[in-house]
Amino acid sequence: MPTRSYTFSHAITRAPGAGVAQGLREVDTGAPDLALFQAHHAAYVAALRATGAEVTELGPLDQFPDGVFVEDAALTLAQGAVILRPGAPSRLGEAAAMAPILARFYGEVAAITGPGFIEGGDILVTEREILVGRSARTDAAGIAELTRRVAPWGYTVRELQTPPGVLHFKTDCSLLDEDTILATPRLAACGCFDGYRVIPTPEGEEAAANAIRFNDVVLAPAGFPRTAERLAAAGYDVREIPNSEAARLDGGMSCLSLRFTPPA
Ligand code: CIR
């Protein structure tokens, strides 16, 4: 039986638009180069498609500079989808824009209505549970509402803490398979992955912790050779994707797609 946490027939992405220059960032290292970002994005989409997945590529949303990071707007599960409620005020409207897109694939699209907030970057779905990190974007009320929404589908949610100063929980970790998580040592130190096998990112390569397992491959940001080697040595088929421009906006592999298999 295919896994529900990393085997997917579909993905949704959104092309970066001219507005990315205004995207949120913790540290300003200069605006992303749009042409380069588009080329990186194309490589990312091609890598997803190469696994056999059907990728729906949405056009840029001019009023939302961070719209390329579609993961934060919704949670896509095997039984249904949940429109989220981003904690960044400039990103709140991205969630509503995703609702009609997901309705094409899901009979049931639920929504987090508030008052809490929750962004997809803080949600790690594993084969056995859903881990959610509280962060500057995701609060206890948002997590509680998500917990109620997904309970009828048989999911348990475990609330954790995103490390201080880290944008999202998944900035620091990724699912590699049913039992294995790639994580920064600073996050794994919390003990929140007890019961899983943890592959730590090498010192100095913490920014490689945001990767995605997508069908038979692991998409990892280029430029972190020791992490790529470590993953390859553990038996994963790694595809390195250039990510310099998304990284200027604190974005990585997971942020750039919604991954799912529509219910039959
Ligand atoms: C933001 O600050 O919201 C965007 N510039 C980056 C979002 C990255 N998304 C993610 O990690 N899921």
Q: Going residue by residue through the chain, which has 264 residues, state the pLDDT in tens, using 9 for 90 and above.
A: 678 999 999 999 999 999 999 999 999 999 999 999 999 999 999 999 999 999 999 999 999 999 999 999 999 999 999 999 999 999 999 999 999 999 999 998 999 999 999 999 999 999 999 999 999 999 999 999 999 999 999 999 999 999 999 999 999 999 999 999 999 999 999 999 999 999 999 999 999 999 999 999 999 999 999 999 999 999 999 999 999 999 999 999 999 999 999 998
CB 38 within 8 A of CB 18: no
Catalytic entry in 40, 168, 173, 192? 168
Q: Which amino acid is at 109?
A: V
**Residue 87 beta carbon below 6 angstroms from any ligand 1 atom:** no
Catalytic entry in 40, 41, 192, 255? 255
Name the CA radius of gyration of the chain, rounded.
Answer: 17
Distance CA 228, CA 234 (A): 10
Protein fold of 10-260: L-arginine/glycine Amidinotransferase; Chain A (3.75.10)
- Please calculate the CA angle 225-227-229 and round it to the nearest 5 degrees: 70
Token pair listed for 36 = 């380069």
Query: Residue 1: its pLDDT value, please?
Result: 67
Token pair listed for 76 = 């896509």
Q: How far is the CA of 180 from the centre of ligand 1 (A)?
A: 24
Token pair listed for 258 = 């919604």
**Residue 16 beta carbon below 6 angstroms from any ligand 1 atom:** no
